[in-house]
Amino acid sequence: MVLGCGVDDDGNPKLLLRDRLSCGVDLYNADAAPKLLMTGDHGRVTYDEVNAMKTYATDRGISSSDVFMDHAGFSTYESMYRARDVFDADSIIIVTQEYHLYRAVYIARSLGLDAYGVACDPGEYHGQIWLDAREILARNKDFLYCIFEPEPTFLGEVIPI
C-alpha cells in the first residue's frame, strides 16, 4: 500500500509521493508485494492523486492489473479502514516516510491488519519541521479514531485484492 501525499498543479506526484512510489515499485519488483494499492485523495475532479500514482507505476513497467486504486483514501485512517473493508486486505506492507510510518502501522494494526512498514527517506525534505508538527496532531486524532473506529467518508462494494 502506497499512501498518497500530494500532486502538483499539473497532476504530477510531488517529491514525497515520488519517493513513496519509487519504493513501492521496488518492493513490487523484488516480489515483496504481488499487488500495489495506491490510496489517496481523488475527492475533486481537479485533484487526483491515485491516477497519477498508477501512471507512475505503469510507466515503470508494472502491469495495470496489479495496481489497485483507492480514490477515497482521504486520510491515513481512512486508507487503512478501506484497505480492510473495501479491498479485503488482511496483510499489508505500508510504504511512506519514516515520520509517518509509525502512525500508519499503528492504525493498521489497531484495525486488525497484519501490517508492516517500509520507510522511504532517500534524503532530507524541505519543510520537515512542519511535517513533524502536523504528525503530532494527526497522531492524537488517529489514536482516538482507533478507539472509536468511525466509518470512513465512503465505503462501497468490496473489491478484493
In CATH, what number is assigned to the domain containing residue 95?
Answer: 3.40.50.620
Q: Could you tell me which of 20, 18, 16 has the C-alpha nearest to residue 1? A: 20
Rounded Cα gap, residues 99 and 105, in angstroms:
11
Let me know if residue 158 belongs to a domain.
Answer: no
Rounded Cα gap, residues 21 and 9, in angstroms:
18
Exposure of 8 by Cβ count < 10 A (0-12 exposed, 13-18 middle, 19+ buried)? Answer: exposed
Q: Which three cell numbers stand for residue 142?
A: 488517529
- Report pLDDT digits (tens) over 29-49: 999 999 999 999 998 888 899
Rounded Cα gap, residues 67 and 55, in angstroms:
10
For residues 115 and 108, is the Cβ–Cβ distance under 8 A? yes
pTM: 0.95
Let me know if residue 156 belongs to a domain.
Answer: no
Domains in the chain, number = 1
- Report pLDDT digits (tens) over 69-110: 999 999 999 999 999 999 999 999 999 999 999 999 999 999
pLDDT of residue 68: 98
Structural domain containing residue 67: 2-148
